Amino acid sequence: MSRRLAHFSAWIPLSLLLCLGCANPTLISRPVHQDLSWFVRLDSYQDANSASARYQHPVRVTDEELTALLSRLLLEDRAGLMDSPRPPRPVFTIDEISLLVPGLAEAFRQATPQEWISFYFSPPGETTLAVTSGGLFIKDDAIHVVLANHRLSLSQEATELSRIRANPFYSVKGSGGALAFEASRFVTGRQANWTGGHQASASELILDHRAFFS
Tell me what the pLDDT averaged over the chain comes to.
86
Per-residue confidence (pLDDT) for residue 113, from 0 to 100: 96
Q: What is the pLDDT of residue 168?
A: 98
Q: What secondary structure letter does DSSP report for 115? A: -
Residue-wise pLDDT tens digits, 17-42? 334 344 567 899 999 999 989 999 99
**CA–CA gap between residue 169 and residue 133 (Å, rounded):** 7
CA distance 213 to 130: 31
What is the C-alpha to C-alpha distance for residues 135 and 70, in angstroms, rounded to an integer? 12
Q: Which residues of the chain have pLDDT under 70?
A: 1-24, 48-52, 78-85, 126
pLDDT for 123 equals 85
pLDDT of residue 74: 97
- 3-state DSSP assignment of residue 77: coil
Residue 16: predicted pLDDT: 36
- CA distance linking residue 106 with residue 119, whole number of Å: 13
User: What's the pLDDT score for residue 73?
Assistant: 98
pLDDT digits (tens, 9 = 90+) for 42-59: 999 987 455 567 999 999
- What is the pLDDT at residue 195? 92
